[in-house]
Amino acid sequence: MPVTEGPQQNTQPAATPTVNGVPACHHCGLPCDTTDVEFEGKHFCCNGCKAVYELLTSRDLCAYYDLNETPGATIREDDEAATIKWGFLDHDDVKAKLLEFSDGGISKATFTVPHMHCASCIYILEELSRLHAGVVNSRVNFLRKQVTVTWRDADISLRGVVQLLSSIGYEPRIQLEAIDRKEHKSEARKLLIQLGIAGFAFGNIMLMSFPEYLTFGGRVEPFLANAFGYLNMLLALPVVFYSANGYLSRAWKGLRAKTVNLDVPISLGVLALFLRSSYEVIFNAGSGYFDSLAGLVFLLLVGRYIQERTYAALSFDRDYRSYFPLAVMRRDGHGDEQSIPVTEINVGDRIVVRKGELIPADSILIEGDGDIDYSFVTGESDPVRKESGDVIYAGGRQTSSRLEMEVIEEVSRSYLVRLWNQDAANTGPASRFNTLTEKISGWFTGAVLAIATIAALFWVPSGVGHAIYVFTAVLIVACPCALALATPFTLGTAMRILGGSRVYLKRASVVETLARITHVVFDKTGTLTETGGGVAGYQGEELNEVEQTWVRSLVYHSTHPISMKVNAFLHNRPAMKMDEVHEVEGKGLHGRIAGYEIKLGSAEWVGVDLDNTPDDAAEHVILKPRPFAAEEDPAHPVGDSASRTFFSADGEQIPSSLQNDAPGNLHSNNTATPRNQAWVSIDGQVKGVFTVQSRFRPGMDSLLNTLAKRIKLSLLSGDNDRERHHLAQLFPDGADLRFQQEPFAKRDRVRELQESGEHVLMVGDGLNDAGALDAADIGLVVSQDVTGFSPACDALMDQDALRNLDKYIEFSRASTKVIIAAFVISFAYNLTGLGFAVAGMLSPLVSAIIMPISSISVIVFTTLLTQFHAARIGVRR
Amino acid sequence: MSVILVLLGAGLVVALVFLGLFIWAVNSGQYDDPVTPGWRIILDDMKKKNSKDTGKHLSREDNDVP
């Protein structure tokens, strides 16, 4: 299976799969630690998952669970929320943008479904008609993660189809902006047809050239030779003018821009071959080199096809519009809420933003308490507190309660959009097109032309005709087919191998650039630290088992981000029924159980005298969370309470790819701010404090150490410098660590490094890195969901692949060496051929032998050697 | 020797037919998705087996959810 993600790797092939000893949900594979719904002997993590299971079994679609274990997506929304959410799909202009076809009775649309990942997904998505009678037909394109649905308008609406998909866990990602998919499709098809025509001509021309080969220079019967010659010429016409069209036009464009790219010598060779061969056929001077011509073009196109196969399901050039939500809830004068497309928001509108949703436009907060997570926009890891009357900028994500606000700026003029547009306008000088092959092709073309001219001048005394003959022969032989093949085959292979380990490159040439990187710049939040991976730790007087149970019971029903972390931290304790629970917005929770009063919340509210609390504990930030071991109970504090030992729980091993867009997807937090702390008191006696703090991705220290041996490192963080101390330990000595960097400062720093001669690789994740990613030689985005939103970049990487970044760089260096080795081989062939050509002895037969041998040996050599290096370095997963 | 030309013509015509078929296949989208159709074959078997096992097909009226 090309794409496997999620829990399958964790689950044991047993009757009831488990995750860390907890039964895994039969539908989605998450551990059933907070809720465990049993149904027909199967475990489910929530009622949503159970509902999908019931629905599918009632429709005889159980094969869904046979094809793959726990294939489903966690159902997160209740039905009501989903119904409101998709209301904007009833708008006519939204429909017009989404529908591919509609005749009033039958409609058709294609949806991108990010969750699609296995055979089960294909199965269920192609059986939609059995889930709803209105669906006529549904077809999956797995590589693009798309499903095309046809339905009867009388039975189901567009909104109905989307809700149907969401209800079984395949929520489509809807984008209204016209995507250039169609253009890409026709490009790929054109290349295939060019390839087909070249192959067709190659085969037939070879066939008709055989008599020539077999007579070894003797004459074929003149009448036949003539017929063969003209037929070959006819067959070669579409090869030159259709199949090789791309090379000719790119060479021409390059020359007009005063650069000599590799297409120039190729075009010279192709044209020389064609003109010389046509001359020979028309004037009866020989049989020409049409076979070499067609073979050359065919192999070149094969190389191109291999190199151009990019990742159809991924998008490397997103703009701000795909980051924003499509719809918002607008509240009209009567208090009715209605879902409208985001483009229809006007200044003065009242909008409603619920927990986990994005703020679509700059607004003033009217009602509710905002805990806005701007980590993706600014890199700041702590949610920002906003109270009524505050201005909230677009792009943040609300992490706590529901907000009502008044729009003060249209979407297209918000702070975030302006930031983006400025970046786009200030794109720096493009230094990245300066690749190795392009440098070589420049002097190569010069050398070939020089040799051809000298040889021709040398032969002028024996006749101008012979001189022209030698001149064209040199151009033909020197046509750098092996050279032109070495790069695409090596880079294409390298790109595929990297794709296999979840590193996706925008273009194959990124491999070459990666090999020359001298400086790696890291972002902190979301790049070095885990996205949404904050872990709670406890500090203070040890809580006994009963007290832990009480705290767990208290936080169990709260959806506040900190409560959820504390809940996860204490997941080994049962949640009991509280006698009384109150949540005080912005302060904390208090409740009663067994006659005790438990309070959890801000220091002030719980009644902590901060001055008497040793705050040096806040410095004890853990860099490497202790790995979770089954026999170790993470809920038990390590060390005695007197020493106030800090400990962490790492029991949550849910693959974060399952947590996409989870409500309260909050960013990493830190110790020193009270906003990430929750103090706990029992019956008025303060016990200690729970702290949520960021966690570094595993393997970062070894990665940074290995990288530092050959490459300079630096850090550009948008966050404050509370973690400077720990990052300084993580980074090797002398690394440049900068904090509180604005997006523009990041970009300018990258430019500064480039001006001082560095080749910069920027590793980032969020919008605050967009400028730096764009300016850097390579912008690499680390993402927990590569099909999800990410800023424009040159390469996308799954978050788990980041720890192997050093290997990928080493592999790209090895690949570049493969290309150089292939160049040497190809020059050897060229020199041999040149020997024949300069001596004026290049017969079609010699050409027909040298050309394929050199090309094919270069192809085999580069492909095998690249594979060998991948295995040696250990790039493959 | 003219028979060679006839054969040659016939051979070219056959090759052209295949080239035409190839171009048609590309344009009709058969090369756009090289992965899903392979799995579809396996899944089709599964669907048949399922309906045989349970011996029932849902009629259109049964479907009202969700």
Q: Is A189 on the interface with B (CB under 8 A)?
A: yes
Enter the tokens of residue A496.
């595929």
Q: In this complex, which of B12, B46, B65 lies closest to A55 when CB atoms are compared?
A: B65
Question: Is B15 a domain residue?
Answer: yes
What's the whole-number mean pLDDT along residues A816-820? Answer: 88
Contact residues on chain B for A60, CB-CB shorter than 8 A:
50-51, 54, 56, 58
Q: Which residue of A has its CA nearest to B22?
A: A196
Q: Are strands A503-505 and A146-152 parallel, antiparallel or unpaired?
A: unpaired
| Residue A811 confidence (pLDDT) above 80 | yes
Whole-number pLDDT of residue A746: 85
What's the whole-number mean pLDDT along residues A738-753? Answer: 85
What's the structural domain count of chain B? 1
H/E/C letters for each residue in A423-448? HHHCCCCCCCCCCHHHHHHHHHHHHH
Whole-number pLDDT of residue A33: 65
Label residue A48 by pLDDT band (50, 70, 90).
Answer: confident
Subunit contact A196:B8, Cβ cutoff 8 A: no
Question: Is B62 a domain residue?
Answer: no
Question: Is B58 a domain residue?
Answer: no
CA pair distance A581, A601, nearest whole angstrom: 13
Helix (H) or strand (E) holding B30: none
What's the whole-number mean pLDDT along residues A155-160? Answer: 86
Residue B34 sits in which domain range?
A: 2-52
What's the whole-number mean pLDDT along residues A412-423? Answer: 65
User: pLDDT tens, A243-282?
Assistant: 999 889 988 998 888 777 778 888 888 898 899 889 888 9
Q: In this complex, which of A66, A133, A196 lies closest to B19 when CB atoms are compared?
A: A196
Q: Tell which of B3, B13, B40 to mutate to test the A interface (max A CBs under 10 Å).
A: B40
In angstroms, the separation between the Cα of residue A782 and the nearest Cα of chain B is 26
Whole-number pLDDT of residue A177: 58
- Amino acid in the structure at residue A813: R
Subunit contact B26:A192, Cβ cutoff 8 A: yes
| Residue A597 confidence (pLDDT) above 50 | yes
CA pair distance A10, A172, nearest whole angstrom: 26
For chain A, which domains are there?
6-67 (no CATH), 79-174 (3.30.70.100), 183-309+432-492+812-873 (no CATH), 321-422 (2.70.150.10), 535-693 (3.40.1110.10)
Question: Is B63 a domain residue?
Answer: no
Q: Tell which of A200, A207, A220 to mutate to test the B interface (max B CBs under 10 Å).
A: A200
Helix (H) or strand (E) holding A712: strand A712-716
Subunit contact A2:B61, Cβ cutoff 8 A: no
Which one is predicted more confidently, B58 or A398?
A: A398
Question: Is B40 a domain residue?
Answer: yes
Q: In this complex, which of B22, B34, B43 lies closest to A123 when CB atoms are compared?
A: B43
What's the whole-number mean pLDDT along residues A498-520? Answer: 86
User: pLDDT tens, B25-45?
Assistant: 998 888 877 778 888 887 776
| Residue A430 confidence (pLDDT) above 70 | no
Whole-number pLDDT of residue A199: 94
Helix (H, G, I), strand (E, B) or coil at A521: strand
In this structure, the number of other CB atoms found within 10 A of the CB of residue A317 comes to: 10
| Residue A195 confidence (pLDDT) above 90 | yes
The answer to which of A177-181, A260-264, A398-402 has the lowest mean pLDDT is A177-181
| Angle formed by the axes of helices A290-308 and A844-873, nearest 10° | 20
| Interface contacts A/B by beta carbons within 8 Å | 98
The answer to which of A96-100, A146-150, A212-216, A389-393 has the lowest mean pLDDT is A212-216
Which residues of chain B are at the A interface, by a Cβ-Cβ cutoff of 8 Å? 1, 4-5, 8, 11-12, 15-16, 18-19, 22-23, 26-27, 31-36, 39-40, 42-43, 46-47, 50-51, 54, 56, 58, 60-66
Question: Is B35 a domain residue?
Answer: yes
Written as one string, the DSSP assignment of A437-504 is HHHHHHHHHHHHHHHHHHHHHHHGGG-HHHHHHHHHHHHHHH--HHHHHHHHHHHHHHHHHHHHTTEE
Q: Which residue of B has its CA nearest to A184?
A: B32
Q: In this complex, which of B22, B26, B63 lies closest to A133 when CB atoms are compared?
A: B63
Subunit contact B26:A189, Cβ cutoff 8 A: yes
Question: Is B57 a domain residue?
Answer: no
User: Phi/psi zone of residue B58: left (φ > 0), alpha (ψ -120 to 50 degrees), beta?
Assistant: beta
| Residue A720 confidence (pLDDT) above 80 | no
Rounded to 5 degrees, φ, ψ at A725 are -55, -45
Q: Is A203 on the interface with B (CB under 8 A)?
A: yes
Question: Is B6 a domain residue?
Answer: yes
The answer to which of A354-368, A524-538, A572-586, A670-684 has the lowest mean pLDDT is A670-684
ipTM above 0.85, yes or no: no
Q: In this complex, which of A122, A221, A231 lies closest to B43 when CB atoms are compared?
A: A122
Q: Is A154 on the interface with B (CB under 8 A)?
A: no
Q: In this complex, which of A188, A207, A227 lies closest to B5 when CB atoms are compared?
A: A227
